[in-house]
């Protein structure tokens, strides 16, 4: 009798433990589903046009041309080859400054900032500058001293800041990149690629303050004490000579040669060109941008946040839910390319409540002819609760 009671008690206890474990599992899955995605930008999905290695004659040893909004590569030459990036490095330095700092921060210049070689603003130890003014010196005139001052302010040391640079590069998908300093001064183990520099710059161009600075031709800066002023002039000559030019950065060392990241916008369409070790960076970058605008066309299939359709929901308090795309879907096609362009919404056939706000409910697919070109997620605009027996009872008795 005693053994039977103990066995039944143990059996009940086992059922209780199993039930608790099941409830905990369901709760954890619900929590995980409702947890917001990381806000850190990751590598975009890259698309290559056919015959992307065909394009204008260039003197650059490595180059890439990319549509900024869709991350479509229109031209590439040795675009993944590791090369010294010279002062194009400062684009990453600016990203970290703008992501981690405040434009009104006061930055005190340390002794090590004036000891760095290469291009300089000729600032002095003890000078204090608003971060926005140092960024002007960094991006317009490529001041290595400004790079060091920013690095020590945000990273506590140059080494600490370089660690942050490499972590951020990896997050952005710049996998052929390693930085050894914040300025781009030649150093062992300091390299990037034309493709990686395009990825990094695409992130930078999402930041309004960066876009404004790199399109600025001249900017007057002064220290906080008011006893040092300088009129900065942008080293990017395309801002004066190329239609639609609006950025971004030059770089030059003996080993790296002439380097340039250049952007231009025409009729709302932005292209980005990177040329490394060029014999004439202005001519090469202009040729790439002209090639892009002259031979390709953007086709916008769906806008960010646009309601695409209403997806049917099983067992929900609502019969359907509006779904949207959180990013635009753009195709870039050659102007002479023919074929039907079709968009298709593909919603999960078994979509059932509960549906959480922001839950992926399907895909929007873009086709040219029979070839699928790109997809984006379809996201629920709002949540839909699951219909329970109690809801049904209230519904029946409320009639």
Give the model's pLDDT for residue 173.
96
CATH number at 358 reads 2.60.410.10
The number of domains in the chain is 2
Both 288 and 307 in one domain: the answer is no
Both 143 and 231 in one domain: the answer is yes
Both 215 and 332 in one domain: the answer is no
Model pLDDT for residues 188-246, shown as the tens digit of each residue: 999 999 999 999 999 999 999 999 999 999 999 999 999 999 999 999 999 999 999 99
3-state per-residue secondary structure call for the chain: CHHHHHHHHHHHHHHHHHHHHHHHHHHHHHHHHHCCCCCCCCCCCCEECCCCCCCCCCCCCEEEEEECCCCEEEEEECCCCCECCHHHHHHHHHHHHHHHCCCCCEEECCHHHHHCCCCCCCCCCCCEEEHHHHHHHHHCCCCHHHHHHHHHHHHCCHHHHHHHHHHHHHHCCCCCCECCCCCCCCCCCCEECHHHHHHHHHHHCCCHHHHHHHCCCEEEEECCCCCCEEEEECCCCHHHHCCCEEEEEEEEECCCEEEEEEEEEECCEEEEEEEEEECCHHHHHHHHHHHHHHHEEEEEEECCCCEEEEEECECECCCEEEEECCCCEEEEEECCCCCCEEEEEEECCCCECCECCCCEEEEEEEEECCEEEEEEEEEECCCECECCHHHHHHHHHCC
Q: What does the chain come to in residues?
A: 399
Contact (CB, 8 A) for 372 and 364: no
Question: How many other β-carbons are positioned within 10 Å of the β-carbon of residue 6?
Answer: 10
Contact (CB, 8 A) for 87 and 60: no
CATH number at 159 reads 3.40.710.10
Catalytic residues, by residue number, are 87, 90, 142
Q: Which residues of the chain have pLDDT under 70?
A: 1-43, 338, 391-399
Give the model's pLDDT for residue 129.
97
Give the model's pLDDT for residue 11.
46
Give the CA angle between residues 134, 147, 87 to the nearest 5°: 115
Both 108 and 226 in one domain: the answer is yes
Containing 204, the helix (H) or strand (E) segment is: helix 194-204
Q: Which of 66, 71, 76, 67 is nearest to 46 (CA)?
A: 71
Task: Give the domain-ending residue among 296, 316, 351.
Answer: 296
Give the model's pLDDT for residue 51.
94
Both 308 and 268 in one domain: the answer is no
Both 292 and 313 in one domain: the answer is no
Rounded distance between C-alpha atoms, residue 185 and residue 253, angstroms: 8
Contact (CB, 8 A) for 136 and 213: yes
Give the model's pLDDT for residue 155.
96
Give the model's pLDDT for residue 7.
37
Both 307 and 368 in one domain: the answer is yes
Give the model's pLDDT for residue 277.
98
Q: Is residue 55 part of a domain?
A: yes
Question: How many other β-carbons are positioned within 10 Å of the β-carbon of residue 248?
Answer: 29
Range of the domain at 105: 47-296
Q: Is residue 309 part of a domain?
A: yes
Give the model's pLDDT for residue 337.
83
Q: Is residue 16 part of a domain?
A: no
Q: Is residue 367 part of a domain?
A: yes
pTM for the whole thing?
0.83
Q: Is residue 386 part of a domain?
A: yes
Both 54 and 168 in one domain: the answer is yes
Give the model's pLDDT for residue 19.
41
Q: Is residue 259 part of a domain?
A: yes
User: What would the two tokens of residue 321 be?
Assistant: 């839910």
Both 92 and 136 in one domain: the answer is yes
Give the model's pLDDT for residue 192.
98
CA 163 to mean position of chain CA atoms: 19
User: What would the two tokens of residue 383 be?
Assistant: 């949540």
Both 146 and 163 in one domain: the answer is yes
Q: Is residue 41 part of a domain?
A: no
Both 315 and 183 in one domain: the answer is no
State the Rg of the chain over Cα: 27
Q: Is residue 314 part of a domain?
A: yes
Task: Give the domain-ending residue among 281, 296, 311.
Answer: 296
Task: Give the domain-ending residue among 296, 321, 353.
Answer: 296
Both 89 and 219 in one domain: the answer is yes
């Amino acid at each position: 009798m005693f053994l039977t009671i103990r066995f039944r008690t143990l059996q009940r206890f086992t059922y209780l433990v199993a039930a608790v474990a099941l409830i905990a599992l369901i709760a954890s899955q619900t929590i995980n589903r409702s947890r917001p995605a990381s806000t850190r930008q990751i590598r975009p999905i890259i698309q290559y046009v056919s015959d992307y290695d065909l394009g204008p004659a260039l003197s650059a040893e490595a180059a890439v041309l990319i549509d900024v909004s869709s991350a479509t590569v229109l031209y590439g030459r040795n675009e993944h080859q590791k090369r010294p990036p010279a002062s194009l490095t400062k684009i990453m330095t600016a990203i970290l400054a703008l992501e981690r700092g405040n434009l009104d921060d006061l930055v005190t210049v340390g002794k090590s900032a004036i000891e760095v070689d290469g291009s300089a603003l000729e600032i002095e130890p003890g000078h204090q500058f608003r971060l926005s003014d140092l960024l002007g010196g960094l991006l317009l005139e490529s001041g290595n001293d400004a790079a060091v001052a920013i690095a020590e302010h945000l990273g506590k040391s140059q080494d600490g800041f370089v660690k942050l640079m490499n972590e951020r590069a990896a997050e952005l998908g710049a996998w052929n990149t390693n930085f050894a300093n914040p300025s781009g001064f030649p150093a062992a183990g300091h390299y990037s690629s034309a493709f990686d520099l395009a990825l990094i710059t695409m992130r930078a161009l999402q930041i309004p303050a960066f876009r404004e600075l790199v399109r600025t031709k001249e900017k007057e800066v002064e220290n906080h004490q008011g006893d040092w002023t300088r009129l900065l002039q942008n080293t990017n000559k395309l801002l004066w000579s190329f239609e639609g030019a609006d950025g971004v950065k030059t770089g030059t060392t003996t080993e790296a040669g002439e380097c340039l990241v250049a952007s231009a916008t025409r009729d709302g369409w932005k292209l980005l060109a990177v040329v490394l070790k060029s014999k004439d960076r202005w001519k090469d970058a202009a040729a790439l941008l002209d090639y892009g605008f002259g031979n390709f066309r953007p086709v916008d299939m769906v806008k960010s946040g646009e309601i695409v359709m209403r997806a049917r929901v099983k067992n929900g308090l609502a019969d359907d839910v509006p779904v949207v795309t959180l990013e635009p879907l753009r195709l870039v096609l050659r102007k002479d390319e023919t074929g039907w362009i079709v968009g298709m919404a593909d919603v999960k056939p078994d979509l059932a409540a509960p549906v959480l706000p922001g839950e992926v409910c399907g895909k929007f697919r873009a086709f040219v002819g029979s070839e699928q070109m790109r997809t984006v997620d379809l996201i629920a605009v709002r949540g839909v609760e699951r219909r329970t027996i109690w809801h049904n009872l209230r519904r029946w008795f409320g009639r």
